[in-house]
Amino acid sequence: MQTAEELKQIVKEKYGEIALQSKEQNESSCCGATSCCATDITIMAEDYSNLQGYQSTADLGLGCGLPTEYAHLKAGDTILDLGSGAGNDCFVARSVVGETGKVIGVDMTEAMIQKAKANAQKLGFSNVEFRLGEIEDLPLAANRVDVVVSNCVLNLVPNKEQAFKETYRVLKPKGHFSISDVVLEGELPTGLQKAAEMYAGCVSGAIQQGEYLAIIARTGFTNVQVQKKRLITLPDDVLANYLSAEELTAYKASGTGIYSITVYAEKPDASCCTPGSGCC
Taking the alpha carbons at both ends of the chain, their separation in whole angstroms is: 38
Mutual angle of helices 4-18 and 110-123, in 10-degree steps:
40
Distance CA 131, CA 117 (A): 9
Q: Which helix (H) or strand (E) holds 115?
A: helix 110-123
Q: What are phi and psi of 170, to 5 degrees?
A: -85, -15
What does the mean pLDDT of the chain come to? 85
Span 67-104, pLDDT tens digits: 999 999 999 999 999 999 999 999 999 999 999 999 99
Question: CA 197 from chain center: how many Å?
Answer: 17
What structural domains and CATH numbers belong to the chain?
4-266 (3.40.50.150)
In this prediction, residue 24 has a pLDDT band, given cuts at 50, 70 and 90, of low
Span 156-193, pLDDT tens digits: 888 999 999 999 999 999 999 999 999 999 988 887 77
Span 43-57, pLDDT tens digits: 677 888 788 998 988
8 A C-beta contact, residue 33 and residue 17: yes
Mutual angle of helices 110-123 and 88-97, in 10-degree steps:
40
**Percentage, residues of the chain above pLDDT 90:** 55
**Burial of 13 from C-beta contacts in 10 A (0-12 / 13-18 / 19+):** middle
Span 226-248, pLDDT tens digits: 999 999 888 888 888 888 999 99
Mean pLDDT of all residues in 9-16: 68
Identify the weakest region by mean pLDDT among 16-25, 112-121, 139-148, 187-196: 16-25
* Residue 25 or 236, more confident: 236
